[in-house]
Structure 1
Amino acid sequence: MFHPSSGAAAPIAARPCVRALALALCAAGAQAQPLAENQAPTTVVTAARAPQSAQQLLADLSVIDRAAIEASGASGLADVLARVPGIQMVRNGGMGNTTNLMLRGADTAYTAVYIDGIRFSSQSGSGGATWESIPLALIDRIEVLRGPAAAIYGSDAIGGVVQIFTRRAQQAFAPSVSLGLGSNSTRRLQAGVSGMGGADQAWDYALDIASERSDGFDVRPSRNADRDGYKSLSGAARLGWRINDSHQLRASLLASDIDAGYDNSTKPGVDDRSKHRMHAAGLEWNAQWSERWSSVLALNASEDRYETTPTAYLSTTQLRGLSWQNQWRLGAQTFSATLERREDALQNAPVDRERAQNALALGYQWHAGKQHLQAQLRHDSDSEFGGKQTGSLAYGYDLTPQWRATASAATAFRAPTLYQRFSNYGTAGLTPENGRNVELAARYRAQHNEFSATAYRNRISDQVSYQVGARGCASSLGCYVSVAQAEYQGLTLAAATQALGVRWHGSLDFNSAKDASTGLYLTRRARQFGTLGASRQIAGWQWGADVQWSARRFDDAANTKVLGGYALWNLSASKSLARDWKLRARLDNAFDKRYETAATYATEGRRFFVSLQWTPTP
Structure 2
Amino acid sequence: MYNSNSIKRNLLVFKHFSHKKYALFACVGKEVKISVLAVCVLTYANVNCISAQTYKADTTTAQKELTLEEVVVTGSRAPMSISQSARMVTVLDRSDIAAAPVQSVNDLLKYAVGVDVRQRGAIGAQTDISVRGGTNEQITILLNGINICDPQTGHNVFELPVDISEIERIEILEGPAGRVYGTSSLVGAINIVTKIAANSSVDVHIKGGSYGYLTTGGRANVVSGKWNNQISANYTKSDGYTRAKGGNLNSDYEGGRVFYQGNYNNENIKVNWHAGMTTKGFGSNTFYSSKFDNQYEHVAKIMTALQAETKGVIHFRPSIYWNRNYDRFELIRGSEAKYKFNYNRTDVFGLNLNSYFDWTLGRTAFGGEFRNEDLISGNLGEPLNKTRHIHGTDRNYTLGLNRSNLSIHLEHNIILNRFTLSAGVIAVKNTWNEMNFQFYPGADVSYRLGSGFSIYASYNTSLRMPSFTELYYSLGGYKADKYLKPEEMTSLEGGIRYNVPGIEAKVSVYHHHGKNMIDWIKNTSKGNDAEWESVNHSKVNALGFEISSRFNLRELFPAQNVFNSFQVAYSYINQDKDLESNYVSHYALEYLRHKLVSKLNLHIYKLLNFSTSYRYQYRIGNYTDTQGNSRQLKPYSLVDARLSWDAPKYALYIEGNNILNKTYYDYGDVPQPGFWFMAGGSIHFNL
TM-score by length of 2: 0.77
Structure 2 partner of 1:567: 637
> What does residue range 260-271 of structure 1 map to in structure 2 within 5 Å?
260-263=282-285, 271=294
Matching residue within 168, 179, 185 for 2:196: 168
- Separation of aligned partners in 1, 2:290 and 2:498: 54
Aligned ranges for residues 568-587 of structure 1 at < 5 Å?
A: 568-576=638-646, 579-587=648-656
2:238 maps to a residue whose letter is S
In 2, the alpha carbon distance for the partners of 1:580 and 1:552 equals 43
**Structure 1 letter corresponding to 2:609:** Q
Give the letter for the 1:508 counterpart.
Y
1:232-276 CA-to-partner distances (Å, cap 9, x unmatched) read 11121112223x301122221121111111335658786333111
User: What percentage of aligned pairs have identical amino acids?
Assistant: 16
Within 5 A, what are the aligned runs for 1:70-109?
Answer: 70-109=98-137
Q: 1:539 to 1:418 in 2, by over 3 A?
A: closer
Displacement of 1:582 after TM fit? Answer: 1.2
User: Using the alignment, how far apart are the partners of 1:467 and 1:596 within structure 2?
Assistant: 20
Pairing 1:390–2:460 present? no
Q: 1:302 aligns with which of 319, 323, 326?
A: 323
From 576, 582, 588, the equivalent of 1:514 is 576
Alignment of 1:174-185 (within 5 A): 174-185=201-212
- Could you say what secondary structure the match of 2:665 adopts? coil
CA offsets 1:472-519 (integer angstroms, 9 cap, x no match):
xxx994643324311222111111003465210111111123324569
* SS, match of residue 54 in structure 1: coil
Aligned to 1:543: 610
Q: Distance in 2 between matches of 1:345 and 1:222?
A: 38
Instruction: State the alpha-carbon separation in 2 of the partners of residues 115 and 222 from structure 1.
Output: 39
Farther-moved stretch of structure 1 (162-171 vs 388-397): 162-171
> Which residue is equivalent to 1:591?
660
Contact 1:97 1:274 in 2 (8 A): no
**Aligned 8 A contact 1:233 1:256 in 2:** yes
Specify whether residues 602 and 478 from structure 1 end up closer, same or farther in structure 2 by C-alpha distance, changes over 3 A only: closer
Q: Does the C-alpha gap of structure 1 residues 572 and 124 become closer, same or farther in structure 2, counting only changes over 3 Å?
A: same
1:182 and 1:332, CA in 2 relative to 1: closer, same or farther beyond 3 A?
farther
- The offset of 1:167, in angstroms, is 2.2
Q: Which has the higher contact order (CA 8 A, sep 6+)?
A: 1
Which residue number in structure 1 is paired with residue 227 of structure 2? 203
Shift of the 479–62 alpha-carbon distance from structure 1 to 2, 3 Å rule, reads same
User: More deviation in 545-554 or 350-359?
Assistant: 545-554
Deviates more, 1:325-334 or 1:277-286: 325-334
For 1:339-350, what aligned pairs fall within 5 Å after superposition?
339-350=368-379
Task: Identify the residue that residue 193 of structure 1 maps to in structure 2.
Answer: 220
The 1:270/1:602 distance shift into structure 2, 3 A limit, reads closer
Q: Which whole-Å CA distance do the structure 2 matches of 1:116 and 1:314 have between them? A: 29
* Structure 1: distance between partners of 2:530 and 2:668: 25
- 2:273 pairs with one of 234, 251, 265: 251
Tell me, in whole angstroms, the C-alpha distance in 2 between the residues paired with 1:583 and 1:90.
30
2:667 is paired with a residue whose SS is coil
Contact 2:274/2:306 (<8 A) preserved: yes
CA contact (8 A) 1:582 1:614 kept: yes
SS at match of 1:399: strand
Task: Give the secondary-structure state (helix, strand or coil) at the position aligned to 2:220.
Answer: strand
Q: 1:146 aligns with which of 148, 158, 174?
A: 174
**Amino acid in structure 1 at the alignment position of 2:577:** D
Kept after mapping to 2: 8 A contact 1:224/1:268: no
Partner of 1:465, secondary structure, is strand
What amino acid is aligned across from residue 163 of structure 1 in structure 2? N
CA distance in 2, matches of 1:536, 1:272: 43
Instruction: Work out the CA distance in 2 between the residues paired with 1:295 and 1:180.
Output: 43
- 2:590, 2:523 → 1: CA distance? 23
- Worse-matched range after superposition: 516-525 or 329-338: 516-525
The answer on 1:325 being equivalent to 2:392 is no
In 2, Cα distance between equivalents of 1:601 and 1:267: 9
Q: CA deviation at 1:523?
A: 4.2
Which residue number corresponds to residue 598 of structure 2?
532
2:517 is aligned with 1:495:
no
Whole-angstrom distance in 2 between the partners of 1:35 and 1:253: 43
Q: Distance in 2 between matches of 1:336 and 1:120?
A: 23
In the TM superposition, residue 68 of structure 1 has moved relative to its aligned partner by: 2.3
- Taking the aligned partners of 1:406 and 1:349, their CA distance within structure 2 comes to 49
| Cα distance in 2, alignment partners of residues 320 and 304 from structure 1 | 12
Q: Cα distance, 1:452 vs. partner?
A: 0.5
- How many residue pairs get aligned? The number is 570
Q: Which amino acid aligns with 1:343?
A: N
The alignment's TM-score, normalised by the length of structure 1, stands at 0.85
1:66 to 83, 88, 94: 94
Distance in 2, matches of 1:35 and 1:543, equals 23
In structure 2, the CA distance between the partners of 1:194 and 1:448, relative to structure 1 (3 Å rule), is farther
Query: Using the alignment, how far apart are the partners of 1:35 and 1:316 within structure 2?
Result: 56
Residue type of the partner of 1:246? N
CA deviations on 1:382-404 (whole Å, 9 max, x unpaired) are 12322111111111111124000
SS in 1 for 2:508: strand
Q: CA deviation at 1:43?
A: 4.0
Larger radius of gyration: 2
Distance in 2 between residues matched to 1:61 and 1:571, nearest whole Å: 26
Query: Do structure 1's residue 415 and structure 2's residue 442 form an aligned pair?
Result: no
Bigger shift: 250-259 or 60-69? 60-69
Sort the Cα spacing of 1:318 and 1:400 in 2 relative to 1 into closer, same or farther, 3 A. Answer: same
Counterpart of 1:361 (choices 409, 412, 422) is 409
Residue 298 (structure 2) aligned to one of 264, 268, 275: 275
8 Å Cα contact 1:588-1:606 kept in structure 2: yes
| 8 Å Cα contact 2:615-2:638 kept in structure 1 | yes
Give the Å deviation of 1:55. 2.0
Per-residue deviation, residues 92-131 of structure 1 (Å, max 9, x unmatched): 2334543211201111111101112221122225x47523
Q: CA deviation at 1:360?
A: 0.9
